[in-house]
Amino acid sequence: MPIITTNDLKNGMTLELDDNLFSVVEFQHVKPGKGHAFVRTTLKNSRTGAVIDRTFRAGEKVERAIIDKRAMQFLYRDGADYVFMDSETYDQMTVNPTTLGDASNYLVEQNTAMLMMYGDEVIGVDLPASVDLTITETEPGLQGDRVSGARKPATLETGLVVSVPLFIEKGELVKVDTRSGEYLSRS
């Protein structure tokens, strides 16, 4: 593990603290008029998703965790678990849905996802800003349903339910924002 100082922290960096992995959400260097400088951080536990605030002395040494991003193809669901195949070695790996979190709402069979790995442990999924998904169920749209801002619920192929404009039909491909889970446009 490379050792870095708290002066080198950046947003998105992963640290190993107290046998856990924490991602730096936000940090702020503080130099009070009296006393020593310190670094105030907001950290997110990469395994549990819990967010904590922690203060470090300026220049304090911490261990940086090396996170490997691997392109893996999502093959199928095995019960509740998700089965991925490494695109380079063709090794298959089973991933627990709690590890994937909200990313499971955007995974479609045979698509490639970037899995974040710490050693052999999957700690998350790096999703693109938006994905294209097919609507499997929604109320039929009527001619003239062009009212500005009117929405209806639609179920996507992954089971996620989003609000779409009234003119969207079953079977259409739509673009969905992976950060907010909102409908963006037709694809």
Query: Which DSSP state fits 118?
Result: E
Domain that holds residue 83: 68-126
Mean per-residue pLDDT, 147-153: 75
Domain co-membership, 59 together with 7? yes
At 104, is the secondary structure helix, strand, or coil? Answer: helix
Structural domain ending residue among the three candidates 80, 106, 126 = 126
Work out the end-to-end distance of the chain between its first and last CA atoms, rounded to an integer number of angstroms: 43
The CATH number covering residue 143 comes to 2.40.50.140
pLDDT digits (tens, 9 = 90+) for 14-60: 898 888 889 898 999 988 888 889 999 999 888 777 889 999 998 88
- Closest C-alpha to 95, from 68, 66, 67, 124: 124
Q: What local confidence, expressed as pLDDT, does residue 53 receive?
A: 93
Per-residue pLDDT band for 142 (boundaries 50, 70, 90) equals: low
C-beta of residue 39 within 8 angstroms of C-beta of residue 30 = yes
Domain co-membership, 54 together with 72? no
When computed from its CA atoms, the radius of gyration of the chain, rounded to whole angstroms, is 21
Domain co-membership, 75 together with 119? yes
Distances (CA, A) of 131 to 1, 103, 124: 34, 11, 17
Phi/psi at 125 (5° precision): -125, 135
Domain co-membership, 9 together with 21? yes
At 105, is the secondary structure helix, strand, or coil? Answer: helix
| Residue 146 predicted with pLDDT over 70 | no
Tokens 């470090």 appear where? 56
Per-residue pLDDT band for 145 (boundaries 50, 70, 90) equals: low
Distance CA 127, CA 159 (A): 17
Structure tokens at 102: 């909200």
C-beta of residue 137 within 8 angstroms of C-beta of residue 156 = no
Q: What local confidence, expressed as pLDDT, does residue 116 receive?
A: 87
Number of domains the chain is built from: 3
Structural domain ending residue among the three candidates 49, 64, 79 = 64
Q: Give 172: exposed, middle or buried? Use CB within 10 Å, 0-12, 13-18, 19+.
A: middle
The whole model's pTM is what?
A: 0.70
Structural domain ending residue among the three candidates 126, 153, 171 = 126
Mean per-residue pLDDT, 137-152: 71
| Residue 101 predicted with pLDDT over 70 | yes
